[in-house]
Amino acid sequence: MHILALHGINLNMLGQRDPAHYGTVTLADIDAAMQRLADELGVRLTCFQTNHEGQMCERIHQAHREGVDAVLINAGAWSHTSVAISDALAILRCPVVEVHLSNIHAREPFRHHSHIAHVARGQICGFGADSYLLALRAAAAFSPCARH
């Protein structure tokens, strides 16, 4: 089972962003923790981060061609703005899990709407870095090749 974790705009700056919302962990810490969990679960995990919307869309197109089994995505601010990323995700046939460190529904009103939510199997937010581990478990459990 191959799972792709996508990190969008500004997430490379974790560790230097507002700790009240995002804690102090870095993206490298998060990727390492997900990799450890992926090893435990026996799944192959690929992580990718970009600050360029077109590159994010192209990485999603590539995931479609590769036939990955599940995608988890924290699109950052693009979650609230990008129809393009939402359209790219809609091409995928595998489950998509939307993830956020902060609880976007408890923050400013402009963060309450996500363009990712309607193409996602589900959304996990508000658990800090642990959101990613929960999302990875969900992605592994709900991918079509999971043994139920």
Number of Cβ atoms within 10 Å of the Cβ of 90: 11
Query: Would you say 92 or 116 has its CB closer to ligand DQA?
Result: 116
Query: Would you say 1 or 97 has its CB closer to ligand DQA?
Result: 97
Structure tokens at 75: 């699109």
Mark whether 100 is an active-site residue.
yes
CB of 76 to ligand DQA, least distance (A): 3
- Residue 82 amino acid letter: S
Q: CB-based contacts of 66: which residues, under 8 Å, 6+ apart?
A: 2
Phi, psi of 25 (to 5 degrees): -70, 150
Pairing mode, strands 44-49 and 122-125: unpaired
Residue 10 binding ligand DQA, by CB under 6 A: yes
Mark whether 22 is an active-site residue.
yes
Closest by Cα among 27, 37, 36 to 6:
27
Residue 129 binding ligand DQA, by CB under 6 A: no
Binding residues for substrate: 74, 80, 87, 101-102, 111
Residue 23 binding ligand DQA, by CB under 6 A: no
Taking CB under 6 A as the criterion, the residue among 27, 34, 56, 101 binding ligand DQA is 101
Closest by Cα among 123, 104, 120, 124 to 112:
104
Judged by CB under 6 A, the chain residues 41 through 100 that form the site for ligand DQA are 74, 76-77, 79, 100
Contact footprint for ligand DQA (CB under 6 A): 10, 74, 76-77, 79, 100-102, 104, 111
Catalytic residues: 22, 100
